[in-house]
Amino acid sequence: MHASVIESIHDDHGATFTERGGRRVVDHYGRPERAHRAVRNGVGLIEAAYGVIVVEGDDRLEYVDNVVSNRVPGTDGEGCYALLLDPQGRIESDLYVYNAGERLLLFTPPGHAADIAADWSEKVFIQDVEIREASDEFAIFGVHGPNATEKIASVLNGAAAPEDRFTFVRGSMGDAGVSVVRTDDLAGEESYEVVCGVDVAPDVYEVLSIQGLNAAPFGYRTWDTLTLEAGTPIFESELEGTIPNVLGLDLALDFEKGCYVGQEVVSRVENRGRPSRKLIGLILESGFSPDSDSGLEPDTNPESESPTDALPTAGATVFDGDATVGEITRAAVSPILEEPIALALVEYDLEALELSVRVGGEEVDATSMELPFVEGSERSARMPGYE
């Protein structure tokens, strides 16, 4: 398992760790809901878990552009969000592709980079391309919140904070060289990622923590509730194995570029004008009793500041009356709304607002609502959009 590059610093902050994709990451620092509110009201700091791939060589742009779902920018300092699909159009991985001059930097979900790099390397024939995993060479820190731009501006030297999504600038923080990316606001707030070498990661994290505006440290338990409130589909729960049209992910698709694996299916669904399913938000009735035999998952976190609530697990069936219309992808108690919320994949034509979720004999009323659940300083670029 890959360890955090600044694990001792996290330990000093009282971190509890968990695992994602073979990567040891911070789960929380003891009060995840308080950290959640700190991000919503100011600015927070998280060590982001990515796999990293470096692609070099004269044919690097053409090679990567031929295999991902979006067009790779040809200009240094620009990037895009893209997908890798299987022949049936289902998402195998998502990734960010950044043009860093003489090389491309690709950020993947943790645990994906090694397999992607190996697969692509095996398919290089006469192209001038070198592909390698570089996950252990970089540290990436996410800065999120309505004051994130002010925070970055207060500590970044040699450049102004980038304004457009998926663009980056080079500068320094303290004595350390960094790249700062304007990202896609997945938490529903202004967002940046600071990329640096692992050798200077402790210094960069310290600058981000205490210089300028104080940034509240938070972990992936808080990240999950922030992205859920923002209506953001994420790889582990919504994207994997799903056709991107179902999630309204036009952000990651270029319908004009050349052929890539899965494009035929994606284009056919687009031309048809509608997918078979859509992603919606649900507010669930709270206060029902968790039952060890019901398949319901209670929130038993001893550090939780909200009342104990039972939550449907991923895959729990969504009903319109007696008709099955979809399934839950993930659920949590919203620290801002203070009630259970969920994302669900349901039939595209579903119009009913009053639904229910039944698992193992329990029946929970649920109300469909327009995303996001919580309006922040920005809207997530991944929030589903259907024309």
pTM of the entire predicted model: 0.93
pLDDT tens digits along 354-374? 999 976 678 899 999 999 999
**Per-residue confidence at 296, pLDDT binned at 50, 70, 90?**
very low
* Tokens encoding 57: 């060589």
The reported pLDDT for the residue numbered 161 is 97
Q: Is the pLDDT of residue 145 over 80?
A: yes
Q: Which long-range contacts (CB under 8 A, 24 or more apart) does 78-83 make?
A: 78/166, 78/167, 79/166, 79/167, 79/168, 79/181, 80/166, 81/166, 81/184, 81/251, 81/252, 81/381, 81/382, 82/252, 83/239, 83/244, 83/249, 83/252, 83/253
Query: Which pairing describes strands 44-47 and 216-217: parallel, antiparallel, or unpaired?
Result: parallel
Query: 72: which DSSP letter?
Result: P
Choice among 26-40, 177-191, 251-265, 331-345 with the minimum mean pLDDT: 251-265
In whole angstroms, give the CA distance from residue 226 to residue 187.
5
Sign of CA dihedral 104, 110, 114, 116: negative
**Per-residue confidence at 387, pLDDT binned at 50, 70, 90?**
confident
Give the count of alpha carbons within 13 A of 129, CB side only.
Answer: 24
pLDDT tens digits along 154-205? 999 999 999 999 999 999 999 999 999 999 999 999 999 999 999 999 999 9
**Per-residue confidence at 386, pLDDT binned at 50, 70, 90?**
confident
Query: 239: which DSSP letter?
Result: I
Average pLDDT over every residue of 19-23: 91
Is 142 buried (19+), middle (13-18) or exposed (0-12) by CB count in 10 A? buried
Average pLDDT over every residue of 314-328: 96
In whole angstroms, give the CA distance from residue 115 to residue 97.
17
- % pLDDT > 70, the chain: 94
The reported pLDDT for the residue numbered 358 is 76
Look at 288 and 105; give whichever has higher pLDDT.
105
Q: Is the pLDDT of residue 298 over 90?
A: no
Average pLDDT over every residue of 67-83: 98
Query: Which pairing describes strands 103-108 and 51-56: parallel, antiparallel, or unpaired?
Result: antiparallel
